[in-house]
Amino acid sequence: MDRNVKESLKEIVGAENFSDSLIDLIAYAKDASEYRHRPDAAVWPVTTDQVSALLKLANQEKFTIVPRGAGTSLAGLAVPERGGLIMDMGRMDKILEINIEDRLVVVQPGVVYADLDKKLSPHGFSFPPDPASGSVCTLGGNVATNAGGIKGAKYGTTKDYVLALEVVLADGSFMRTGSRCMKTSSGYDMTRLFVGSEGTLGVITEITLKINPKPPLLSTAMAMFDDLEDAGRAISQIMHSGILPCALEIVDQQTLKAINQNTPLNLPEVEAILLAETDGYTREETEYQIDKVVEIFQRNRASMIRRADNRQEAETLWTARKTAYGVMARINNNLFVEDLAVPMSKVPEMLRAISDLAKKYNLVIPTVGHAGDGNLHPVISFDGTKPEEVHRVEQASAELFEKVIRLGGTLTGEHGIGLAKARFMGMEHDAKSMEYMRGIKRLFDPNNILNPGKMALEAG
C-alpha cells in the first residue's frame, strides 16, 4: 500500500483512527482460527460516511478491505489473507434505539453482544442466539457470520432476527434492506443475502434486530449414557416429543476424558452426557417440559440422571459442558474448533465417525455440540510446530467433511466458511449454486476488494 493511499486513509478517518504500526498489523493478522496474514494498515471508522469514503477509495485504488468485529472467527473470516486494509468496526458501537413497543433494536455493528443483552435484560427481552463468545463478539460479526449458539433448536440463529440493514457497497454507495415490520413479503430478501455473507458483499453499518421476550425461568436436567446410540435415540425422541428444550447439549467421552485429565472434576467417562434446559414463565411450565425430557432419558437407558432444584445446582450440571473449551484449549498449542451440522437423527452416526477418524489419524478429537439442532463441534487439538501432525489434521478434516456431506449435513452450522472451509464448498453446493454465488459476488463487488479469498467465490 503506497504512502499516498495511507495519507488519504488518514484524511478520511483522522490520524487517531488509522494505524500502520507493527503492533496493530500483527494483532490484526489473526482471528481465533489458525490462519495468519498481516494487513498493510488498519482503520477504525466512526461514521457511516467514513466507511463509504473508505470503500470508494479502495474501489478506485484497488486495495482490499476486510471488515472486522471482535475477531473471534474460528474459520478465518477476519484474516486479511491478501493484506490490504483492516476495517475494525469496534468504534461504531452505539445502540441507536431500543424499541420494546415494536419489538426491535437498532444498533451499530461494533456493539458487543453482551452489552446489548445487558441493556435488554431489564425489559425482559433478548436477542436470543447467545453465541459462546457473547462476552466479546460484535453484532456486526454475528450478522456477517450468521452466528448461532446453544439455543438454536428453539430460538434459531442470527438470520431469524435480522429485520433490516444499512450496508455500504463496494463503490461507497448506501443500500437499505428490509423493513421494521415483523413480516414482509416485499421483493427479494436482500437482508438475508447479507446475513452470513462474511464481509464479501458490503460493509454492514446499521442493524435492525427483532428481539424476543425472554422467559425468566429455567429447569435443567443432565443424563449420562453408557451407549452413544441410546443418547442419540434420546435426542431424536426429545425433538419430536412436542417439547422444545431451549438447550440440548451433548458432551462426548473424549471430552470427559480430557476434562478428567486436566481438572479435579472426576466425571464418569461414559459415552455421552446430555444436558437439557427448558424455559418458561411458571415453574409448572418448565417442570412439565423437563419431566417429559427426563422420561425420555429414562426410556433410553440413561445410567444416571440428575435434575437441578435451583440455579446453583444447574450450574453444577453445566460444568462439564462449560469447562470443555477451556480444557481443550489447554491440551495442545493449536486447535481447530470444527462446526458441522447433520440432520438430528444422524448425530450418533456422526459421533461414531469422528471417533473412528481420531483413531485412524492418531488424533485426539473431543466433541461437544448442540445436539438439539444437530450442530457438533469436534475440536482437533494439535501441535502446529510439527508439520507431520498438521498434515494428519488436514487429512482428517477433509475426510470428516466428506462424511458430513454424505450424511446430508452442512460444512458449518454457525461459524461460517471463511478460509477454513473454502476448499470444501464444492462438496456441499452444486455447480449451479456456486456459479450463482460467484455471480452475486461479481455483481456487488466487481473489483473483488471485499474480503477476497473467502467462501471460494473466485475459483471455477
Partner 1 sequence: METTYEFAEKFRDQVLRCSSCGFCRAVCPVFGITKRPAFNARGKMLVLKEVMAGNIPLNDELIETLFQCTTCAACANNCPSGVNVPEIIKSVRKDMVHLGTCHPAFVGMNQVLETSPNIYGEPGPPDFERERNRKAQYVFFVGCVGSYREEEATEETLALLDRQQVDFTLIDEACCSGVLEDLGYTIQKNHVQTNLDRILATGCRTVLTGCPYCFRTFNEKPEYADLKKQRIDVVHISQFLSDIDFGVQTDKKVTYHDPCDLGRHAGIYEEPRKTIQKIASNFVELPSNRANALCCGAGGGVRGAYAANSIAMARRRLAEVEAVGADVLLTECNSCVHNLSNAKLRAQKFKIYTTAQFINHLLEEA
Q: Which is nearer to partner 1, 126 or 208 (CB)?
A: 126
Q: How far is the CB of 449 from partner 1 (least distance, A)?
A: 22
Q: How far is the CB of 112 from partner 1 (least distance, A)?
A: 8
Per CB under 8 A, the list member of 90, 152, 366, 416 interacting with partner 1 is: 90
336 binds partner 1 (CB under 8 A): no
Over the window 110 to 129, marking each residue x when it contacts partner 1 by CB under 8 A and - when it does not, the resulting string is: x-x-x---------------
- The DSSP 8-state label assigned to residue 93 in this structure reads -
User: Per rule CB under 8 A, is residue 326 in the interface with partner 1?
Assistant: yes
2, 4, 15, 22: which one binds partner 1 (CB under 8 A): 22
- CA 359: distance to chain centroid? 28
Instruction: Tell me which of 246, 335, 371, 417 binds partner 1, using CB under 8 A.
Output: 335
CA distance 100 to 95: 14
Instruction: Give the x-and-dash track for 368-407 against partner 1 (CB under 8 A).
Output: -----------------x----------------------
CB of 25 to partner 1, least distance (A): 9
- Continuous H helices in 147-306: 152-155, 190-194, 228-239, 253-262, 283-299
Of residues 250 through 269, those in contact with partner 1 by CB under 8 A are none
Helices (H), 89-178: 113-120, 139-145, 152-155
81 binds partner 1 (CB under 8 A): no
List the one residue from 325, 345, 352, 389 that touches partner 1 (CB under 8 A). Answer: 325
Identity of the residue numbered 370: H
Shortest reach from residue 170's CB to partner 1, in Å: 25
Residue 13 CA to residue 25 CA, distance in Å, equals 17
- Binder to partner 1 among 21, 121, 298, 433 (CB under 8 A)? 21
For partner 1, the closer of residues 134 and 152 by Cβ is 134
Residue with cell 440428575: 306
- Structural contact between residues 130 and 148, judged by C-beta atoms closer than 8 angstroms: no
- One residue of 9, 12, 28, 339 binding partner 1 per CB under 8 A: 28
Scanning the structure block, which residue is given the C-alpha cell 421476550? 213
Q: Which of 1, 29, 98, 364 binds partner 1 (CB under 8 A)?
A: 29
Residues 6+ apart with CB under 8 A from 444: 169, 170, 200, 201, 202, 450
Query: What is the smallest separation between the CB atom of 146 and partner 1, expressed in angstroms?
Result: 19
Interface pick for partner 1 out of 330, 360, 391, 406 (rule CB under 8 A): 330
Burial of 312 (0-12, 13-18, 19+ CB in 10 A): exposed
DSSP E strand boundaries for 231-365? 247-252, 272-280, 304-307, 334-337, 340-341
Count of residues near partner 1 by CB under 8 A: 35
β-strand partners of 424: none
23 binds partner 1 (CB under 8 A): yes
- For residues 459 and 435, is the Cβ–Cβ distance under 8 A? no
Q: How many CB atoms lie within 10 A of CB 439?
A: 11
Using rule CB under 8 A, residue 333 touches partner 1: yes
What part of residues 37-76 is at the interface with partner 1 (CB under 8 A)? 44, 70-72
Look-up: residue for cell 447433520?
342
Nearer to partner 1, 124 or 326 (CB): 326
Closest CA to 298 of 308, 306, 288, 310: 306
Q: Which stretch binds partner 1 (CB under 8 A): 25-33, 402-410, 419-427, 432-440?
A: 25-33
Which positions from 127 through 186 interact with partner 1, judged by CB under 8 A?
133, 135-136
Half-sphere exposure of 10 (CA within 13 A, CB side): 10
Copy the grid coordinates of residue 309.
Answer: 432444584
Q: Is 322 helix (H, G, I), strand (E, B) or coil?
A: helix
Residues at the contact surface with partner 1, assessed by CB under 8 A: 19, 21-24, 26-33, 44, 70-72, 88, 90-91, 93, 110, 112, 114, 133, 135-136, 325-326, 329-330, 333-335, 385
